[in-house]
Chains A and B, each alone.
Chain A
Amino acid sequence: MKKHWKMISLGMAVCLAMTVLAGCGDKKEEGGLGAIKDRGKLVVGVKFDTKLFGLKDPASGNVEGFDIDISKQLAKRILGDESKIEFKEVTSKTRIPMLNNGEIDMVVATMTITEERKKEVDFSDVYFQAGQSLLVKKGSPIQGIEDVTKDTKVMSSKGATSVKNIKEQIPGITVLEFDNYQDAFSALKAGQGDALTTDDAILYGMAAQDPNYEVVGKPFTDEPYGIAIRKGNSDLVQAVNDALKEMHENGEYDAIYEKWIGKKPSE
């Protein structure tokens, strides 16, 4: 009897190992431009917790923001109808794995184009120019990056470029990393840290949420946002770039920008 159990558990272990290995192998099948058109629906990964860019309104259940409007325009141009779109929630932590395992067609989620990420995914042209900044409680002694020392408790989100940037600017600093920006902001409000750092675009949204907090100092990095697409789908990248270009030319981009950010894009 004991022998049987051993055999069964061995068999189960082998099955498990095979699923894991198989999962690693087939990454880049479907999901190209053709597949999206066949499906008749664009599946986009966006943030649900970031004011101004992608925020789910708990009352209506709708997701709203700059990234959302840009995605709808893409759907309109690729599929001819801006309602042929499905939004799935991503965080800084989940967006690349979800894109690469085929759950979503593209990521439009305040995502900075970096050399490292380019090894994992393809990016469209820059669709938003942000810069990293600091959010503090009003009256805080920190008024800019020059006031941050290595003993300052700075918080951010796991997987965000802002963590790496601030560690480069202030060697030896400890960053408290949370699962998303909303958790980081809750922790800041509870007094667990001195400042929250990420792209100014996200920080302005938080400051709009709670007037006791303000964005201080000048942006200290350049964060060009791109739309991420699974590697090897150059036709989809091309379609997105064409759509973006068209939106810039006919003024729709400026209109969306002004609607959410409250000013005209600076060239």
Chain B
Amino acid sequence: MGARVFVCIGTKKGLFVAESGKRRERFELRGPFGPGVSVYSALVDTRGDEPTIYGSSCNPFFGMKVLRSTDLGHAFAETAAPPAFPKDDGRALANIWSLQAGAEARDLWCGVEPAALFHSSDGGDSWELVQGISNHEHARQWQPGNGGLCMHTILVDGDRVHLGISTGGHYLSEDGGATFRAANRGVGAGFVPDPYPEFGQCVHKIARHPAAPGRLYMQNHGGWSEWNGPGGPRPDIGVLRSDDHGKTWRSIAKGLPSDFGFPIVVHPHDPDVVYVMPLEPMTRTCPGSAPAIWRSADGGDSWARLAKGLPKKRAWFTVQRDAMDVDELSTPALYFGTTTGQLWIGRDGGEEWECVFDALPPIHCVKVAIA
């Protein structure tokens, strides 16, 4: 493991890179790269001799680009080509929501809006549409959520590939991404009469830990406990766990102040430790306007509130689905970025919080790596 902490911060006005030593006492900030343009996904790829940093650049005028840095985030350049739908497909790229390292040294996966998956074998210079999910029989039935019809989660686990789509649900491949099937048993939906449809759920984020084979955690679109229309109330559908590679899911939301939220993050050294940020479903801010991260140390059976150092009231920010991450140091720190442009660090596994930057543009994503 390297000696420096890199925090990539994707914002409404470009990509920032914050760098610190392992003590994380002071962060040097560089950027914005791709200035003035929203960055919804970033990746610090530590597989090679030297890390490569990627960021999406979602230009509302001139289209999507993928930015790449090979000098630890001092300079970025566009890759040779961004993902693009085939001409006869009829869809046009509207955003890039996820960049994920693949199995081979230069393999990359990219989840986009409208929901589709691309694969690159050359570090992002060329891309191929992954037909098995992008032209899945369900694909034309998926619907956009408030953020768009986005493929935001890509988790690679050997030959298994897990995808999170809002709103499409969780899709699982067990053949390296060649074919996919909806795997949403136990994943509820509140915005359709059928509380447990085959697909179409508004999955917000999925996380896993390599030391817990088969286990997944999901932040789903909760907030439907009081629904009394067709299908009845749907309490606690927002925070879920699977122990069979996502084939079935069960609620772990008991004990949280709300089952609505966006990010979900797993501790790097303990698969039983998982973090969420519960939000009020209507305002999408923390209950009582008092921000807090909630941590489970037992795989979701119980939860504890972590708020030391965070504002005690009058804070109405949202933390978006990719805007929370954790580093892999022996005593890891959590990080989250807010829609009000603050980057927070939660030292000692989230026990004590400090605002690192307080006036960045609205933050879409935060990705951390040690390199």
Bound pair (A, B): no
Give residues in A with beta carbon < 8 Å to B.
none
